[in-house]
Amino acid sequence: MATTIRASSVRPAFGVRGIRRHMGQILLHMLLVAGCLATLLPFLWMFLGSFKSSSEIIRIPPSFFPENPTLVNYQTIFNDPLVSIGRYYLNSIIVAVSVVVLTLFTSSLAGFIFAKYRFFGQNVVFSFILATMMIPFQVLMIPSYLILAKLGLIDSLWGLIVPAAVDAFGIFMMKQFIEGIPTELMDAGRIDGATEWGIYFRVILPQLGPALATLGILTFMFRWNNYLWPLVVITSNERRTLPIMLTWYSGMQYQSYDLTMAASVLVVVPVLIVYAAFQRWIVQGFALSGFK
């Protein structure tokens, strides 16, 4: 790349080239806006569908906008004696928040140790952690189910929390982040007489804000949206999480798109709000990980 030196001779665009560049930007914006509309279309279809009455939604040909927008689908869901939507929200929140708290603690502690201490067998142990990330969940799913059965945790929210408490990716990510924290801070703590646990809680943890936020939000969203594992573990109605509930109205006895779309709105919107609020952390985190 010997030509790099000449890059300094690039001047701000002007004249005919400037206009062309301008045109290029306008064209680019138009294309990207069109792509955005296409991306948003399914969401729009969901929202519009959730406000259509049951008679309108089965009409042929279908309408695009609801002719008589109604909240009746939401009312039906909230008053359905077979569906305790509040309970499902609570279940999803309990599982997601518990896993987040546990994961943040175990990942930051293990990440701290791998980043800042040297001990016998360290590389072997860390390679083992990385290697477990390669194992597809479906391979572990059947034995994990059998372990839960032995522990009596089938059909319990514990069954969704306990296996997720230690996360290989979280440890890896925390180690990377903690390596950037100067060791001098720890030494200063030691001189002040802090124990190793004291250093972890009072020196390291306060420095981890951004990393904890990123990992926490990623973990929360992953658990909130998780489907296969709750589908395997949870059997009784009142212990369902939201994604399991979602398929209820599309099942055999209902096949009702108006209720399904309203339920989808109820499940999808909280995550979209979390995403909108924490956009920066989330996008960074995904860019960093790529596999959640």
List binders of another protein among 61-90 (CB under 8 A): 61-62, 64
Selected binder of another protein within 72, 94, 97, 147 (CB under 8 A): 147
Instruction: State the minimum distance, in angstroms, from the CB of residue 131 to another protein.
Output: 9
Q: What is 12-55 written as a DSSP string?
A: PP-HHHHHHHHHHHHHHHHHHHHHHHHHHHHHHHHHHHHTS-HH
Closest to another protein by CB, 97 vs 141, is 141
Q: Binding segment for another protein among 66-74, 82-90, 132-140, 204-212 (CB under 8 A)?
A: 132-140
Report the first-to-last Cα separation within the chain, whole angstroms: 36
Question: Do residues 211 and 177 touch, judged by C-beta distance below 8 A?
Answer: yes
| Distance (Å, whole) CA 240 – CA 230 | 8
Which residues, at least 6 apart from 46, have a Cβ–Cβ distance to it below 8 Å? 261, 264, 265, 268
Write out the binding residues for another protein, residues 221-280 only, by CB under 8 A.
221, 224-225, 227-228, 232, 242-243, 246-247, 250, 257, 260-261, 264, 267-268, 271-272, 274-276, 279
Residue 21 CB, nearest distance to another protein (Å)?
Answer: 9
Q: Name which of residues 150 to 189 contact another protein (CB under 8 A).
A: 163, 165-166, 168, 172, 176, 179, 183, 187
- Which of 74, 78, 89, 126 is close enough to bind another protein by CB under 8 A? 126
Cα 243 to Cα 222, 226, 268: the distances in Å are 12, 7, 10
> Using an 8 Å Cβ cutoff, are 263 and 248 in contact?
yes
Site for another protein in 5-64 (CB under 8 A): 6-7, 9-10, 25, 28-29, 31-32, 35-36, 39-43, 45-46, 49, 57-62, 64
Cα(238)–Cα(171) distance, integer angstroms: 33
Answer yes or no whether residue 101 interacts with another protein by CB under 8 A: no
Dist CA 242 CA 226 (whole Å): 9
**101/274 with CB nearer another protein:** 274
Tell me how far, at minimum, the Cβ of 221 lies from another protein, in Å. Answer: 6
Q: Which two tokens stand for residue 183?
A: 């060791």
By CB under 8 A, how many residues form the interface with another protein?
105
Using CB under 8 A, pick the residue from 123, 182, 238, 253 that binds another protein.
123
